[in-house]
Structure 1
Amino acid sequence: MDHPPRIYCYRCRKPDLLCICADVTPVPTRFGIVILQHPQESRRTISTARIVSLSLTGARLFVGLDFAGCTALHSHLAAAPGPVYLVYPERGALDVVDVMAREHGWPDGAPTFVIIDGTWAQARKIKNQNPCLDRFERVSLSPGAPSRYRIRRQPRGHYLSTVEASVLLLSRLEGSEEAFRPLLEVFDRMIDRQLSFKSGESRRGVRRPAPRPEGG
């Protein structure tokens, strides 16, 4: 039996039935957020990067692997009013508290934080393929609670989705968890819809085609 093609929302890049646009509300922040998203992650229905880019005023999302020729990205980072940091867990990375203590209120302009969106293997690949990121000091996050990503198992208990990492980072910088709660509410509703959708498919006996191996 042929199934009709899915209708996609061109704003949030999700199937129409799972569209998050009506749930998103603008959330202001003085800090810049730039997301570098792996192309495979951009095609995942449960990707969270667009929750961030659609919610946070001034957030930017770039999709790709090699950003050496991405003029828009380099121009955006060059125009950042303050320092630029890469959120990536490496030995010697600064904690957010260290960044706050160092900047003393950011008199020269609030910093911008670059976040890589994808699996950890994909994030590592983007970092390694883009030596332009090497000039940015690393910042790591230390979450106090496990991920709320109920539909996608994280490889380790302290790993977070992109939206959770963004909320944790900004909550600590701004000193307010409540201000960024709307992003997590969109995240939770997205997961609820996806679980309900999958449950409905199961009850109807709908079978999805087996995924093809990468490179096949």
Structure 2
Amino acid sequence: MTTPRPYCYRCFKPQVVCVCGGPRVRNRTQVVVVQHPREMHHPIGTERLARLGLENCAVHVAWSCVVTPEMVPPGAALLFPSDKAREINELTDADKPSAIVAIDGTWSQARSLYRDNPWLAGIPHLKLTQAPPSNYRIRREPRVDYVSTLEAVVHALSALEPETEGFDALLDHFAGMVDRQLGFSERPPEGSYRHRRRTPRPLRPDPMLRDTTRSPVVGYVEYVAHDRAGVTEQCLVHVCVERLRDNERLELFARPVNDELPRDTHLHHMGLTRDTVEQGLDET
């Protein structure tokens, strides 16, 4: 039985390829990353480098009805190569956005998120036609002028605030991650190799959860989906938080707006009764 590799619980990569030690850039323009759920734990995704390397950066996973227009500040623009997109290098100071929104995922996933979130089409669009070729040699882009999420964000910020220092260092850190990843993938196997069926990886509990001196709190939330005017929304039903040091627990139930209670099958799956939900707090 092999010994598990040491793991970093900040960037969620093995410590041998940890990317937490990179530069930190004080960007003025806010960055909002809308991430496809399948990209959350991708081992070679670049969103984590943007999150760790940019001080003014927020990441929202695009679960249904979680990413909303309210999460994007007024005056934001979307990095997306649509027909109506303006070249970012041609903007005047008066036209520069207060924030840039980037979609994180494969190009197929990005198009799906764009289609499923109509509000994205309602904000100004920007494109990068003068960006250098992508250095993301781990994944093949569908076009030679397409770049990774991190590269797109950094090139956009460089155009919007050329006086800010650290963007080149962040791209160098990104290139180093790519080189290390490719180095491991190209390393020849040691000894004889026989293909075996892959077994599921064991869960890696965060060591912080075992440190009772830090009083970690674990939360659990349950939603149900409702169809309102043709739009699927998630309504909060159940919230439970527990402090691990002394097992103190807080449990709350929410009554969905408009009294649209979950179906009996959903209640049975969650182990709840209709009376429990009806007596819950108002979701609003």
Equivalent residue runs for 1:6-17 within 5 Å: 6-17=5-16
Q: For residues 167 and 79 of structure 2, what CA distance do their matches in structure 1 show?
A: 18
* Residues in 1 aligned to 2:17 and 2:40: alpha-carbon distance in whole angstroms: 15
Residues 140-190 of structure 1: CA deviation (Å, up to 9, x unaligned) = 111342111122211111010111111111111112586301211221111
Of 90, 98, 101, the residue aligned with 2:82 is 90
Establish whether residue 172 from structure 1 lines up as the match of residue 170 from structure 2. Answer: no
Q: Distance in 1 between matches of 2:100 and 2:59?
A: 12
What is the rounded CA distance, in whole Å, between the counterparts of 1:39 and 1:7 in structure 2?
25
Candidates 194, 198, 201, aligned match of 2:181: 194
Largest Rg, 1 or 2: 2
Which is helix-richer, 1 or 2? 1
Q: Is the contact between residue 84 and residue 114 of structure 1 (CA under 8 Å) also seen in structure 2?
A: yes
Q: Show structure 2 runs of 5+ residues with no match.
A: 199-284
Distance of 2:191 and 2:175 partners within structure 1: 24
Higher relative contact order (CA 8 A, sep 6+): 1
Given that 1:87 and 1:113 are in contact with CA atoms closer than 8 Å, whether structure 2 keeps it comes out as: yes
Select the structure that is richer in strand: 2
TM-score calculated relative to the size of structure 2: 0.62
Structure 1 length normalisation: TM-score?
A: 0.80
Deviations 1:40-93 (A, max 9, x none): 222221111111111111101112343x234xx65442xx3x511111110021
Identity of aligned residues (%): 36
- CA change 1:5–1:176 in 2 (3 A) is same
Structure-2 separation of matches of 1:56 and 1:19: 17
Equivalent pair of 2:131/2:155 in contact (CA under 8 Å): no
The 5 Å alignment of 1:65-76 reads 65-66=63-64, 68-70=65-67, 74-76=69-71
Residue range with higher mean Cα deviation, 85-94 or 179-188: 179-188
> Residues 1-216 of structure 1 correspond to what in structure 2 (within 5 A)?
2-22=1-21, 24-66=22-64, 68-70=65-67, 74-77=69-72, 80=73, 83-98=75-90, 100-101=91-92, 103=94, 111-175=98-162, 179-200=166-187, 202-203=189-190
Instruction: Tell me the secondary structure at the aligned position of residue 155 of structure 2.
Output: helix
Q: CA RMSD in A?
A: 2.6
CA distance 1:86–1:125, change in 2 (3 Å): same
